[in-house]
Structure 1
């Protein structure tokens, strides 16, 4: 069915037609005025030629050669000017045939006259006057032709002006009629319909067949009338609808209370994330759900848990850099939004969701006060619209999740503080155990005193050397034990603690250290961080005591599985079983610490080429609890 143009198009067409007519009329009158001005200037120039002809005849009669030459030149210039025209004045001969023929006769007459006067002998004064009179008559006929042409143009101009007046009057009448037809009459019908509605006639409808703006108003009026009629006639259905809304609100409140109770009893981040993913999926009636954690700088999002998502999608989006997809919003512009799954020009955007068959994703930022700590994602296989009540529910659930994560973080910090305090007590106990070394030193002092009494200088020197070595060893052991047992990590990442440890190692030994970090992943749990840091410190202690190295390299791979390697360029050894006792003790301590967190320690050593000690952490099937402190 053909669609009629709207009101704006109709008014624009009418205005455009009137504008074109006005521009054409104005252009025609300007052209005619230009023609009249050019013809009038040509008449003036012809009058000058007539005067110059008479003056030339007088000069010929008096035989004045100089004046004859000057006047002849002026006549030539007038002929050329009329032939070529002068648009700047304007000045030109009209282009009708009669005017052009008359001008050709004038030019021919002047050329014949100039030949006769230049012939020898020169004509007499009477003959010159007679011939000049003939030229003047040709000029008069030329002027008469131009005047006749200008008279016709003037008549046409007057007719055009009258037509313009008629056009203005007709345009005014047409505009008034079209205004009534297109504006006032539809407004009157709308007003009549409103009056009937006001009087209680809810069956009133407005008929406007055109599909323009008033047609849209008429459709809107008719829909409004139908709605009012339904409100009056279908009150029972409205009550039922309201009841259903109240039930939906009750369901939302029940889901909110259930989620609040769950987050209060969740003991670990893994339990919290998986349980919350299941609950929010059920509350939002989604096909799948995911909970993502964001680091403090909002550079990436790590998937903590999911429910209903395909395994390949969770693997592909385990670590999602901020801004690489619509999921994983940046902190500045994060907001609750519905993301339709449509084809995108940017490669990778929504690609995983498209392959998984989802039609929409709801993204809800998880905020703790003003800080973004994560994101909730709800996946739907069909397009989805988010009502205001549902939006408020999701944001409230996200707020509960943020509070629960912060509570788990606080509990983890408390456990870390307790562990640190216990290790401080252990350090003091170990410090007291140095008494055996002190007893050895006391024995050496007794030997030294006896050697001095006997005057045995050689024995005294040996005893002093033993004392010096014992004191230095005891002091070194005390410092090392205190550093090991009092170590505490209170940041979200272990890297700063490793950097501080390497700085202390450089200060104590003077050996250069090199730290390299690769990959991205969830930060380690505080308890795991402490064990990893102790293994690094024990490896560095072995380097200091036994390797004779010139440099140390520490490499950290953060992506699963975590791997921390300490490598030196020292003397090395053939087999771990053939290593010195000090190395045996250090390796045993490192392996015990690794076993306590389910990790492994690998040792590789080559004589005169150095030793490598690597600690590999286990990989969990789901994101582990290690993000508890990383959310700070």
Structure 2
């Protein structure tokens, strides 16, 4: 449009004036429309943003709830269960979980805890079993230790063996036991110690016999079991130190059987007992040798001194009697004769004493030596002297044998010199309680009224020997006539304290 500095056209001015309000109104309408449209769009945008914000909030809340339910809570449960398992509560389990990774972890955890529970229970059982086995082994070791200590640190006595039997019966749950000793040449065994009352023990041995434990041939070498009626018996041979000493039978309680470990313990104990018995025998033999050596020395001294002096006096008295015969008075001859008789008697007693002192140990058993003494007395007396021996394999100590033998010799000498008998009997017996009873009787003239309680030299010797044996010695008269001497004492045996 060309520019001009000419004044406006009045027509245009009027048109412009008329058209301007309408144009302004139109512009206002357009602006108002635009404003309304803009406001409408803004409002719509606000609703959209609000909706989006609310949706975002709801989505966030949903995600949080989902994480809480499906992640954090299961994780806490898993943590608590793991802590419970850590504290040894293997019963802890996780409840069923959603089918996701945590669910698989929970299932794996439950399977792991179940396996651990089984393993732990089995381990507890094995530990408990091993603990019981160790305790049992410890008790058995203590039993073996106590037994070995008893048998080695002290002299072997029947009381120690009895304590050992009681200990074994309690530890191994066994019935009453017996320690029976026997040499191979003996026909019967001697019950050295038992927890059974003597009446029951005697009845049991009488009903079963020694052959059930010892056999009919060679000594047993292995544990053997025997069933006789309601009696179940296990017999353990006592073998130790290369020597067989006897057997140690035990009764098996009703309803029980002999276990392998029991047999092993019994064999070990039997070895200890056999060794102790062998040591006791060797100790007794050494003691016996010492006693006999001492007595042999005394015998030599008596022979070299007193015996020769008595022989010299006998010769002198015989010479005196020969020289006095032509002119001696009857009183003097009687005195010389009495002196000669006394010397002869003293010399004979001394010879018998020397014979007793010179007994050789280990070559002649006591029973055989006693038989020899009775046979010698029978020869001197000229009549029958019966001998009954029922010692039941009881072994006497060396001093006991010597004092008992000397007492029997003295009694037989008295019968020969004073009894005027035609028959005599010597009875020697012992029971399982170690009680020894000796009875010597004859059918002679019996005791003078004051002889047994008076000062007769031979009876005084017998009383002294009975006192050494701690026995009871009695002198009485047989109902059918004649004298009787009885002695009762408790034998120490080689297994009792001296």
TM-based fold match above 0.5: yes
Moved more, 608-617 or 385-394: 608-617
Determine if the alignment matches structure 1 residue 418 to structure 2 residue 306: no
Q: Name the residue aligned to 2:451.
A: 577
Q: Name the residue aligned to 2:214.
A: 330
Q: Name the residue aligned to 2:250.
A: 377
Q: Name the residue aligned to 1:503.
A: 375
Aligned pairs, how many? Answer: 370
1:532: Cα distance to partner?
Answer: 1.7
Among 433, 439, 458, the residue aligned to 2:306: 433
Determine if the alignment matches structure 1 residue 281 to structure 2 residue 169: yes
Q: Name the residue aligned to 1:591.
A: 463
Query: What is the alpha-carbon distance in structure 1 between the residues aligned to residue 440 and residue 131 of structure 2?
Result: 68
1:406: Cα distance to partner?
Answer: 1.2
Deviations 1:339-364 (A, max 9, x none): 67x9x3xxxx63xxxxxxxxx65443
Query: What is the alpha-carbon distance in structure 2 between the residues aligned to residue 441 and residue 557 of structure 1?
Result: 41
Q: Name the residue aligned to 1:189.
A: none
Query: Normalising to structure 1: TM-score of the pair?
Result: 0.50
Query: What is the alpha-carbon distance in structure 1 between the residues aligned to residue 343 and residue 465 of structure 2?
Result: 29
Query: What is the alpha-carbon distance in structure 2 between the residues aligned to residue 544 and residue 422 of structure 1?
Result: 30
Q: Look up the SS of the partner of 1:562 in the other structure.
A: strand
Q: Name the residue aligned to 1:562.
A: 436
1:289–1:466 Cα change, 3 Å:
closer
Determine if the alignment matches structure 1 residue 291 to structure 2 residue 178: yes
Deviations 1:65-113 (A, max 9, x none): xxxxxxxxxxxxxxxxxxxxxxxxxxxxxxxxxxxxxxxxxxxxxxxxx
1:462–1:532 Cα change, 3 Å:
closer
1:497: Cα distance to partner?
Answer: 2.2
1:262: Cα distance to partner?
Answer: 2.0
1:442: Cα distance to partner?
Answer: 6.4
Among 529, 541, 549, the residue aligned to 2:413: 541
Query: What is the alpha-carbon distance in structure 1 between the residues aligned to residue 339 and residue 391 of structure 2?
Result: 49
Q: Name the residue aligned to 1:120.
A: none
Q: Look up the SS of the partner of 1:615 in the other structure.
A: strand
Among 303, 307, 315, the residue aligned to 2:199: 315
Paired residues of 1:548 and 1:571 also in contact (CA < 8 A): yes
Paired residues of 1:569 and 1:610 also in contact (CA < 8 A): yes
1:276: Cα distance to partner?
Answer: 1.5
Q: Look up the SS of the partner of 1:502 in the other structure.
A: helix
Query: What is the alpha-carbon distance in structure 2 between the residues aligned to residue 607 and residue 242 of structure 1?
Result: 73
Determine if the alignment matches structure 1 residue 252 to structure 2 residue 140: yes
1:551: Cα distance to partner?
Answer: 3.3
Of the two, which has the highest radius of gyration?
A: 2
1:238–1:451 Cα change, 3 Å:
closer
Listed as ranges, the gaps of 5+ residues in structure 1 are 1-229, 351-359, 619-623
Q: Look up the SS of the partner of 2:214 in the other structure.
A: coil
1:558–1:616 Cα change, 3 Å:
same
Query: What is the alpha-carbon distance in structure 1 between the residues aligned to residue 147 and residue 270 of structure 2?
Result: 10
1:564–1:319 Cα change, 3 Å:
farther
1:425–1:249 Cα change, 3 Å:
same
Query: What is the alpha-carbon distance in structure 2 between the residues aligned to residue 259 and residue 442 of structure 1?
Result: 64
1:599–1:493 Cα change, 3 Å:
farther
Query: Normalising to structure 2: TM-score of the pair?
Result: 0.61
Q: Name the residue aligned to 2:155.
A: 267
1:445–1:330 Cα change, 3 Å:
closer
Deviations 1:461-518 (A, max 9, x none): 8899678646643542331221233346648964222101112223444443211235
Among 305, 308, 330, the residue aligned to 2:193: 305
1:562–1:609 Cα change, 3 Å:
same
Query: What is the alpha-carbon distance in structure 1 between the residues aligned to residue 140 and residue 202 of structure 2?
Result: 30
Q: Name the residue aligned to 1:3.
A: none
Alignment of 1:16-415 (within 5 A): 234=122, 237-238=125-126, 241-242=129-130, 244-286=132-174, 288-296=175-183, 297=185, 299-307=187-195, 311=197, 314-318=198-202, 320-321=204-205, 324=208, 329-331=213-215, 332=217, 335-337=222-224, 344=229, 350=231, 362-368=234-240, 369=242, 371=244, 373-377=246-250, 379-380=252-253, 383-415=255-287
1:401–1:625 Cα change, 3 Å:
farther
1:285–1:588 Cα change, 3 Å:
same
1:439: Cα distance to partner?
Answer: 6.6
1:437–1:319 Cα change, 3 Å:
farther
Deviations 1:161-195 (A, max 9, x none): xxxxxxxxxxxxxxxxxxxxxxxxxxxxxxxxxxx
Query: What is the alpha-carbon distance in structure 2 between the residues aligned to residue 270 and residue 494 of structure 1?
Result: 22
Determine if the alignment matches structure 1 residue 481 to structure 2 residue 348: no
Q: Look up the SS of the partner of 2:208 in the other structure.
A: coil
Query: What is the alpha-carbon distance in structure 2 between the residues aligned to residue 578 and residue 330 of structure 1?
Result: 47
1:585–1:527 Cα change, 3 Å:
same
1:398: Cα distance to partner?
Answer: 0.6
Query: What is the alpha-carbon distance in structure 2 between the residues aligned to residue 491 and residue 525 of structure 1?
Result: 15
Among 498, 507, 517, the residue aligned to 2:389: 517
Paired residues of 1:256 and 1:397 also in contact (CA < 8 A): yes
Query: What is the alpha-carbon distance in structure 2 between the residues aligned to residue 372 and residue 551 of structure 1?
Result: 40
1:589: Cα distance to partner?
Answer: 0.9
Listed as ranges, the gaps of 5+ residues in structure 2 are 1-117
1:407–1:318 Cα change, 3 Å:
farther
1:277–1:383 Cα change, 3 Å:
same
Deviations 1:17-74 (A, max 9, x none): xxxxxxxxxxxxxxxxxxxxxxxxxxxxxxxxxxxxxxxxxxxxxxxxxxxxxxxxxx
1:315: Cα distance to partner?
Answer: 2.4
Determine if the alignment matches structure 1 residue 444 to structure 2 residue 317: yes
Deviations 1:404-435 (A, max 9, x none): 01111111222222222333334345443357
What do you get for the CA RMSD once the two structures are aligned? Answer: 4.2
1:379–1:303 Cα change, 3 Å:
farther
Query: What is the alpha-carbon distance in structure 1 between the residues aligned to residue 258 and residue 422 of structure 2?
Result: 64
Query: What is the alpha-carbon distance in structure 2 between the residues aligned to residue 498 and residue 485 of structure 1?
Result: 14
Query: What is the alpha-carbon distance in structure 2 between the residues aligned to residue 300 and residue 514 of structure 1?
Result: 23
